[in-house]
Amino acid sequence: MIVTCPSCETRYRVDPDAIALRKGRVRCAACGHGWKADAEALTLDEPARPTLRKEPLAPEPALRPAGGIEAVKPHEVVRKRAETRRQRSRKTVEGTGWAVVAASCVVVLGAAWLFRADIVETFPRTASAYAAVGVPVNPYGLEVRNLRATPSEDAEGALIIEGEVVNITGRERDTRPLRAVITGENGEVLVEWVVMLDAVSLPGHGEEAFRTVLADPPEGGAELEVVIAPDPL
């Protein structure tokens, strides 16, 4: 017959004669609870057993995912997680590397722009590269600015030409002669002359004013230009 513990509900197959000898007193081997078995609840259809023992429970069937999908093994989950972390780390490293490359390019381009005059002075062939991207560079680091021409009040017909020479770099530069040119409507040179500066050198971003007088300007002059002379005259 079968006896169920009222405390933990563990079921046992027992011999009715053994219970009769103990006057119905039994004790659960699982939780230690003792009670008196009810004779009316006993079932005599089960085969008798010589002693009390815990009824073995049938093993639970292995659970499987619905749809026929195989269960994922624990070590496969760990491997996939590790691979995911490696991929994220690799992408982070690659992203950082490209960011460093981009920042380096920005720094190089910025330096090439700020120190273009120094670069062309050291490497004259780079002047063509700057000109190709629309940035002509004066290799001497000097520029002529605020050029203006006015008739002279002292000498009739004379032309006064004035302006400033500016050091466009951050370091001291030696001054150079200036080349003044008046051209005609077709671009032909009508007259040209040299203008010398008083200062031997200019400090970084320094400037010096110049003034020259053309006593007899040519007829048909269309354009006046004053530039840094390419070679010492």
* Correct CATH for 142-228 of 3.30.190, 1.10.3470, 2.30.29, 2.60.40: 2.60.40
At residue 178, the pLDDT reads 94
At residue 51, the pLDDT reads 47
Question: Distance between CA 173 and CA 118 in Å, rounded?
Answer: 10
Domain boundaries, the chain: 2-54, 72-111, 142-228
Among 115, 143, 141, 116, residue whose Cα is nearest residue 128: 116
Beta bridge partner(s), residue 174: 201
- DSSP-derived secondary structure for 174-195: E---EEEEEE-TTS-EEEEEEE
Question: Distance between CA 183 and CA 181 in Å, rounded?
Answer: 6
Bridge pairing between strands 223-228 and 189-195: unpaired
Give the H/E segment covering residue 224. Answer: strand 223-228
Count the Cβ atoms, other than its own, within 10 Å of residue 226: 19
pLDDT under 50: residue ranges of the chain: 40, 43-52, 54, 57-69, 71, 233
pTM over 0.85: no
Strand order of the β-sheet with 189-195 is 189-195, 178-183, 223-228
If DSSP codes are grouped into helix, strand and coil, which group holds residue 22? coil
At residue 60, the pLDDT reads 41
User: How does DSSP classify residue 113?
Assistant: H
Count the Cβ atoms, other than its own, within 10 Å of residue 142: 23
Distance, first Cα to last Cα, the chain: 130
Question: Distance between CA 53 and CA 38 in Å, rounded?
Answer: 18
